């Protein structure tokens, strides 16, 4: 969408479509009054109703989502759609309901939650596990939210609640432009708009999720019936019309930086990256040109130059989650053969989950060229990357992006039948890998010198300075090396300029944890928004957030017992169900979700037994 084409884009919409969109927004105007009239207790009751309606369609939701991605019944990776779809929404609804319950009783959502100090004058909030169920099902994993430097514990407790601290203030009508890759994202974004900002929403679903609209309408009926939500379909022309509608007070998008620029500046400059994630589907006719190094998320030099002296065409505030190139820093240590194999499968999962069509997919593995086990680790990584179950590369334009990567790296290794690319490179050759979010099964390995703290510090600096985006970073380090690094490891975590940092875990665990926050590292602007502006999820409704830190077990059960005495946590999972190599991952992921649907303790025991056969 160019500035000159704005009127044309709107006029291109059929009159009937404009009438439907206008009517939906008008309905939401009444919804703002309804929301304002609800007490905190009534809002909590509403969330409980949403839990019931979501549970009622969970099986259909997972089935439609999996089938739409080419995962037929019986496919071992169908469990991804249980966890990243209805499971994520159910646990979020429970967490938000707990927050509203605390506020309704006159308490802070942080009452009873442990707060402590983090490096650099920060306060950390222990955000999971907060229940016995989480402590058992996800044993060994935890999350904490670090607040911005200078925010003390008393302030954190006092300000937790965001919009729900002032529930009677006038509500607004916002637009949510839904993501096309992960099915829970549009729903979670709608919930956060409503609860963090008292903002009712018109949700425009990405065309890749059109098949789920009937499921969404039934799951979200308690929001739709009183006019708190309207769901519409459409392409870029409908998105463009909605972003410029005079009754819209705020826009939220999960998508590409090119689409973000099109919304804010009315320009398709650098739009090659728009096809990376949204295929130009959200707003305006974004180009389908494929990404090269110059179009990488966060590099955006051409786009920023084009907008530097221009007034934004968007007249309302915007928040966004825009992805990025995520590092996986492998800290050298003395690893067993089992460690090498497990962590290789871990890295393969970070890239191959959802066929690589994730904003948080790991893309650049940073290893030490001085690590004696480097060759052994890379051999295990190639094997794990190759043996993961076959699946379609389904997201629009993915084949062309794979071809662009093939052109940039003609000597790369192709795995999994030829649709997964593994690049081992150094120096300037890594430029395309580090500046292009491929949003496809492309994984790169970059060497740096050093061991110990020297390597870790160099890897952190490399990730901060060379990789585009600030959404998430992963660090893998064995317990012995972790003990040796001590405070230096915590300092390195603080130095990583990413919205989520995962230690011995994948940052997607932070996405899946409702009481964690999800979004770019603070500092994004309209002119330059690497990975976006603001956060979502955040079911404790924390204010002045800087990042989420995820911690997980370096070793699975029973080998995790070796780290328990040193305080590194005990995992009862032999292999997490989200690993692409977990043989029982589909059944366990479904079992986890069904437990969240109804809390059947007997059923979850059977699920845990299946987990032991992963």
DSSP string, 50-70: HHHHHHHHHHHHHHHHHHHTT
Q: Walk me through the domains of the chain, giving residue ranges and CATH numbers.
A: 3-69+104-117+164-321 (3.40.605), 326-546 (3.40.309.10)
Which range is least confidently modeled, 218-222, 418-422, 478-482, 556-560? Answer: 556-560
Pairing of strands 250-254, 517-519: unpaired
pLDDT reading at 612 higher than 80: no
pLDDT band at 282 (very low <50, low <70, confident <90, very high): very low
Q: Facing residues of 503 across strands? A: 475, 551
Q: pLDDT tens digits, residue range 302-319? A: 344 445 568 999 999 999
Q: Of residues 181 and 294, which shows the higher confidence score? A: 181
pLDDT reading at 532 higher than 60: yes
CA 232 to chain centre: 23
Q: What are phi and psi of 148, to 5 degrees?
A: -65, 150
The angle subtended at Cα 96 by Cα 94 and Cα 97, nearest 5°, is 65
pLDDT reading at 292 higher than 70: no
Report DSSP letters for 502-548, one per residue. Answer: EESS-THHHHH-TTSEEEPPS---SS--TTEESEEE-TT--SSEEEE
What pLDDT was estimated at residue 599?
73
Pairing of strands 532-533, 115-118: unpaired
pLDDT reading at 418 higher than 60: yes
Nearest by Cα to 414 from 378, 442, 440: 442
Which range is least confidently modeled, 259-268, 429-438, 511-520? Answer: 259-268
d(CA 63, CA 46): 26
What pLDDT was estimated at residue 3?
33
The residues near 242 (Cβ < 8 Å, ≥ 6 apart) are: 21, 175, 202, 204, 248
pLDDT reading at 610 higher than 80: no
What pLDDT was estimated at residue 564?
62
Q: pLDDT tens digits, residue range 61-92? A: 999 999 999 999 999 999 999 999 999 999 99
d(CA 195, CA 148): 22
Neighbours of 17 (CB within 10 A): 16
How is residue 414 annotated by DSSP?
A: E
């Amino acid at each position: 969408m160019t500035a000159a084409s704005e009127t044309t884009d709107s006029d291109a919409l059929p009159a009937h479509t404009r009438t439907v969109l206008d009517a939906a927004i008008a309905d939401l105007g009444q919804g703002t009054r309804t929301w304002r009239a609800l007490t905190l207790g009534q809002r909590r009751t509403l969330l409980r109703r949403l839990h019931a309606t979501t549970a009622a369609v969970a099986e259909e939701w997972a089935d439609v989502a999996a089938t739409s991605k080419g995962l037929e019944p019986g496919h071992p990776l169908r469990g991804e759609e249980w966890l990243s779809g209805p499971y994520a929404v159910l646990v979020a609804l429970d967490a938000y309901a707990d927050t509203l319950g605390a506020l309704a009783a006159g308490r802070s959502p942080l009452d009873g939650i442990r707060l402590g100090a983090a490096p650099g004058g920060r306060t950390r909030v222990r955000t999971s596990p907060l229940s016995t169920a989480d402590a058992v099902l996800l044993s060994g994993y935890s999350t904490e939210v670090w607040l911005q430097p200078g925010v003390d514990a008393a302030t954190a407790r006092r300000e937790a609640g965001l919009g729900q601290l002032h529930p009677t203030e006038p509500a607004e009508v916002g637009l949510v432009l839904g993501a096309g890759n992960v099915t829970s994202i549009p729903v979670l974004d709608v919930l956060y708009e409503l609860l963090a900002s008292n903002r009712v929403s018109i949700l425009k679903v990405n065309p890749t999720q059109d098949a789920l609209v009937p499921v969404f309408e039934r799951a979200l009926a308690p929001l739709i019936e009183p006019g708190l939500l309207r769901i519409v379909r459409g392409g870029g022309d409908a998105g463009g019309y909605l972003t410029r509608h005079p009754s819209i007070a705020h826009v939220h998008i999960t998508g590409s930086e090119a689409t973000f620029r099109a919304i804010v500046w009315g320009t398709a400059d650098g739009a090659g990256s728009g096809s990376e994630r949204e295929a130009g589907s959200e707003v305006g006719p974004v180009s389908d040109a494929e990404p090269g190094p110059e179009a990488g998320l966060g590099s955006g030099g051409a786009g920023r130059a084009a907008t530097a002296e221009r007034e934004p065409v968007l007249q309302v505030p915007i928040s966004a989650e825009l992805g990025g190139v995520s590092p996986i820093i492998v800290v050298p240590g003395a690893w067993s053969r089992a460690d090498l194999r497990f962590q290789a499968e871990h890295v393969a999962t970070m890239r191959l989950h959802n066929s690589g069509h994730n904003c948080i997919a790991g893309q650049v593995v940073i290893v030490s060229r001085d690590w004696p086990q480097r060759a052994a680790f890379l051999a295990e990584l190639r094997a794990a990357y190759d043996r993961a179950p076959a699946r379609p590369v389904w997201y629009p334009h993915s084949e062309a992006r794979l071809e662009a990567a093939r052109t940039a790296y003609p000597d790369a290794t192709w795995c999994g039948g030829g649709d997964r690319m593994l690049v081992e490179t150094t120096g300037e050759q890594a430029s395309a890998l580090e500046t292009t979010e491929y949003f496809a099964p492309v994984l790169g390995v970059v060497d740096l010198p050093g061991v110990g703290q020297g390597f870790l510090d160099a890897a952190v600096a490399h990730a901060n300075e060379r990789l585009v985006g600030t959404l998430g970073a992963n660090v893998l380090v064995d317990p012995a090396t972790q003990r040796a690094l001590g405070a230096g490891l915590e300092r390195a975590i603080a130095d990583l300029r990413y919205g989520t940092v995962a230690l011995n875990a994948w940052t997607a665990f932070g996405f899946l944890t409702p009481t964690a926050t999800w979004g770019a590292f603070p500092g994004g602007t309209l002119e330059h928004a690497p990975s976006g502006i603001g956060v979502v999820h955040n079911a404790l409704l924390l204010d002045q957030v800087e990042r989420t830190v995820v911690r997980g077990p370096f070793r699975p059960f029973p080998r995790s017992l070796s780290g328990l005495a040193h305080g590194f946590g005990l995992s009862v999972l032999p292999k997490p169900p989200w690993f692409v190599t977990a043989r029982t991952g589909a059944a366990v992921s479904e079992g986890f979700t069904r437990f969240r649907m109804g809390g059947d303790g007997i059923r979850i025991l059977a699920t845990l037994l299946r987990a032991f056969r992963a």
